[in-house]
C-alpha cells in the first residue's frame, strides 16, 4: 500500500477540458508538493502547500491542501497540450533522518489537440 495514493493514474482529455487530480493519504504531512515530469526529464516543482485548507493558483492550475493536511488536489482549467506530462505529489514528513519527501504513484495526463 502506497503512503500517498494518486488518482486517476491515467487521464486522456481533449484540449479545453477541465480536470482534477487527487492525492490522498491517511498520514498528516507538514507540507505537500506537486511536481510535473515530462518525458526524458526529471520532475520539476510546481508548488508547495503548507497550511491546511490553503489554495494556490499558478495560471490555469489550482492547488488545494486539505484541512487536515492529509490530502491535496490539482485542478487544471482549459487544459492545453503543453500540460501533458506526469504529475506527482510528494508529502513532506519527518523521520529519524529529518524531513523527507514521499512520492505518490503519479497521474499521467495526455491532452490531445
Site residues, another protein (CB under 8 A)? 2, 4, 30-31, 33, 35, 40-45, 48, 50, 88, 90, 92, 97-106
CB nearer to another protein: pick between 79 and 89 = 89
State in angstroms the smallest separation of the CB of 83 from another protein: 19
CB nearer to another protein: pick between 25 and 79 = 25
Burial environment of residue 21 by CB neighbours within 10 A (0 to 12, 13 to 18, 19 or more): buried
Locate cell 519527501: which residue?
101
**Closest residue by Cα to residue 33 from 100, 98, 84, 78:** 100
State in angstroms the smallest separation of the CB of 12 from another protein: 17
Reported residue count of the chain is 113
Amino acid at each position: 500500500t502506497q503512503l500517498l495514493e494518486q488518482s486517476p493514474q491515467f487521464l486522456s482529455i481533449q484540449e479545453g477540458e477541465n480536470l482534477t487530480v487527487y492525492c490522498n493519504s491517511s498520514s498528516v504531512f507538514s507540507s505537500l508538493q506537486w511536481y510535473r515530469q515530462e518525458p526524458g526529464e526529471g520532475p520539476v516543482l510546481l508548488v508547495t502547500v503548507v497550511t491546511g485548507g490553503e489554495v494556490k493558483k499558478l495560471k490555469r492550475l489550482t492547488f488545494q491542501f486539505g484541512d487536515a493536511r492529509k490530502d491535496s488536489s490539482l485542478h487544471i482549467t482549459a487544459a492545453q497540450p503543453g500540460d501533458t506530462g506526469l504529475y506527482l505529489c510528494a508529502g513532506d514528513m519527518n523521520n529519524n533522518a529529518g524531513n523527507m519527501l514521499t512520492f505518490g504513484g503519479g497521474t499521467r495526463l495526455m491532452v490531445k489537440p
